[in-house]
């Protein structure tokens, strides 16, 4: 994460894509291990964000032209902050 200004930060979009790919592979592996036949019926996986993230992609290369820009949300609730800390702790423990 690159802390650019008081109201936004930037991320490496390729790092986000690689993280999503690993997460998707882990989810498929876990589902398969749990006895689900995901290979036969899996058509797509959707992802979403909080509509606070922007990145420009090249139509010709498919590569990002900018870092991902994320608007900081200063009005996050205490519950959101606690969930973020818990998620970060669980992720670092893996």
Instruction: Kindly report, residue by residue over 36-69, the tens digit of the pLDDT.
Output: 888 777 777 776 666 677 888 899 998 999 888 8
Model pTM score: 0.58
Residue 72 structure tokens: 């900081």
What is the predicted pLDDT for the residue at 34? 93
Q: Domain containing 71: what range? A: 4-93
Spatial contact of 66 and 15, defined as CB atoms under 8 Å apart: no
Dmax over Cα atoms in the chain, in whole Å?
A: 47
What's the confidence (pLDDT) of residue 14?
A: 92
Our separate counts of H helices and E strands in the chain read 3, 4
Mean pLDDT of 4-21: 83
**Mean pLDDT, all residues of the chain:** 80
Number of domains making up the chain? 1
> 40 vs 15, 20, 36, CA distance in Å?
29, 21, 10
């Amino acid at each position: 994460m690159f802390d650019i200004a008081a109201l936004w930060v930037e991320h490496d979009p390729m790092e986000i894509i690689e993280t999503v790919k690993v997460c998707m592979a882990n989810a498929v592996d876990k589902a398969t291990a749990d006895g689900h036949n995901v290979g036969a019926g899996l058509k797509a996986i959707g992802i979403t964000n909080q509509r606070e993230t922007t990145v420009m992609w090249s139509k010709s290369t498919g590569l990002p032209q900018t870092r991902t820009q994320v608007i900081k949300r200063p009005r996050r609730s205490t519950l959101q902050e606690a969930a973020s800390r818990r998620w970060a702790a669980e992720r670092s423990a893996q």
